[in-house]
Amino acid sequence: MKMECVLFNLMFLLVPGIQFCYSQSFNSSQEILPAYSEKYYHSSLGENVFVFEQGMDMKEIQSLIDTIFNRQSGRKSEFSKNRYALLFKPGRYNLDVKVGYYMQVLGLGESPEDVVIVGAVRSNTTHGNSVLTNFWRSAENLTVIPTVDSTNIWGVSQAAPLRRVYIKGNLQLFDKGYASGGFLADSKIDGIVTSGPQQQWFSRNTEWGKWSGGVWNMMFVGVPDAPSENWPDKPFTTIKETPLIREKPFLAYTEDGYNVKIQKLNKNTIGPGWLNHNKDEKTLLLDEFYIVKPGIDNSESINSALKKGKNLLFTPGIYSLDKSLKITRPGTVIMGIGMATIMPVNANSAMEISDVDGVTVCGIIIDAGKIRSETLFQVGEPGSKRSHESDPVFLYDIFFRVGGPGEGSATSCMVINSKNVCADHLWLWRADHGNGVGWDKNKCANGLIVNGDDVTVYGLFNEHFQEYQTLWNGNNGRVYFYQSEMPYDPPTADAWKHNGINGYASYKVSDQVKSHEAWGVGIYNVFYNAPVIVDNAIETPVTLENKIHHKIIFWLNGNKESIVKSIINGKGGSIGISNRKATMD
């Protein structure tokens, strides 16, 4: 039965012998937290932000984390309205931190070694026999000393990054059964990273003792101990250096209070920046941010803060916006914690960034609204021509959903018009399950459209859209790792034809593009309805065919008469029920 959200301010309810606490975002049958949770509640940082310090009662903290996790685990919580940020000030904690849907675990140190959790920070199977839908969760900026078999389990699929973590032991990227895609960056693992049945994975600027395993598509960029390439016999793609990166900003607690650390722009890097003692470029005090809170802020208040020159810190919650957020000031930082979610409700976009230098957006989920938006997120106006080479726009951990939580539609999710944009982990998802899902319900043509030149993406996950998943129109684009599923639900083969071509390529580089390169491109297929025929998984100008490196297509399931006829431009093997896998260099 669907449960409505209880809209209470923080209050107390007395029950004989027990005191309980109500918080706004809890569902009506799940809202009770033990009263001691109040001491950890950080109202100035937003609803459902809990801050822990060394010396606090570990049993209480463990009980509170377990209570939140129990609420956020299992199938019933996959599209929950609850959002949580668990923040740890520098210190040492003996805890088993179980991470469920819409939970973000953040250390507040200046180094990951400042916050040490002895026990685990883990994501496990909580329903079924796989972690195929373990989405929307993260852990950042902390050290874990695992106490069970010296192994920390992070069994996830999309939208569940590990960043800036130090595991003093082993790391396991699965739990039970299959796992399907993940992201690891700026981290160190002393022991073995075991991928097991994890089907695809992207790792950047990370060190480990050893990597073990691999199924279809495992990508390593700037990883000194990465496996050697032997494609396609082994599913590894290894790039020695990360050509351009500014690591994601992070929230810290120092003698000056709460602040946000902005990292330096670096080129040709290997290994985690914090381990290399890279210094922050600058520190922004929290009073330079407008703290955005659910139930209080709207398009008008947020845009007003932006006009006053404020950065934005979105706290855990869901924000319905009837106007686009307009980012016009160079260097503006937009940060979300606790899987903060914004949704346009008036056919507007969620966010529009002007063609300016150095804007940063990180840690945001964007949901399509019921009224179709042309695009949900735009970087630069159409026709943008300015160079931002010395101070690029950076986008981190931005996750789009069209359908799933509820009815929604758009023409495209993200359009990048500006030059010199760098995206570090995107998941663009037209929902294949959940609410408001169907070929004629959650309509959306494209996930990502790139019109600007010199755009780089690390870790591009893009799935189920009704035309091209990715449409690249700009020059000098680079993509490091691509994971995509074509739509599950074309009703007929004829319904998915265009211009005499069967189906739509997942990855499309337009005919006018002169230079483009991509590595580790994996495209997968499930067609559940009538037989569907697809001519090409990838389409590029002929001159760029050999610039798409390490390509794999895979027939997962569905109608037995469906077929993808070629990997790229009519070349390479086909896949169907009789031949499920095809690869090319």
Q: Which residues are catalytic?
A: 485
Residue 6: name the closest of 219, 23, 17 by CA: 23
Cβ distance 395 to 422 under 8 Å?
yes
> Contact 431/175 with Cβ under 8 angstroms?
no
- Relative to beta strand 282-285, strand 373-379 is unpaired
Cβ count within 10 A of residue 567: 24
Dig out the tokens for 13 from the structure: 């309810």
Q: Which long-range contacts (CB under 8 A, 24 or more apart) does 11-15 make?
A: none
Q: Which residues pair with 482 in a beta bridge?
A: 460, 521
Tokens of 188: 């160190």
CA 440 to chain centre: 26
Helices and strands per DSSP (H, E), number in the chain: 2, 46
Q: Which residues contact 354 (CB under 8 A, 6 or more apart)?
A: 326, 327, 328, 380, 381
Question: How far, in Å, are 218, 330, 582 from residue 230 at the CA level?
Answer: 12, 44, 16
**Strand locations in 431-547 (E):** 446-450, 456-463, 470-472, 477-485, 497-498, 501-502, 507-509, 516-527, 533-534, 538-539
Quick check: helix, strand or coil at residue 433?
coil
Per DSSP bridges, beta strands 18-22 and 33-34 are antiparallel
568 CB contacts (<8 Å, ≥6 apart)? 536, 537, 538, 539, 540, 545, 548, 551, 584
Task: Collapse the DSSP code of 294 into the 3-class scheme (helix H, G, I; strand E, B; otherwise coil) and give the result.
Answer: coil
Cα 51 to Cα 72: distance, rounded to the nearest angstrom: 18
Residues 475 and 489: beta-carbon distance below 8 Å: no
513 touches 479 (CB < 8 A)? no
Amino acid at 571: K
Torsional sign, CA 261, 264, 269, 273:
negative
> Residue 304 gets which letter from DSSP?
H
Question: Which tokens in the block code for residue 502?
Answer: 């069967």
Sheet holding 470-472, edge to edge: 325-327, 351-353, 373-379, 410-416, 446-450, 470-472, 507-509, 538-539
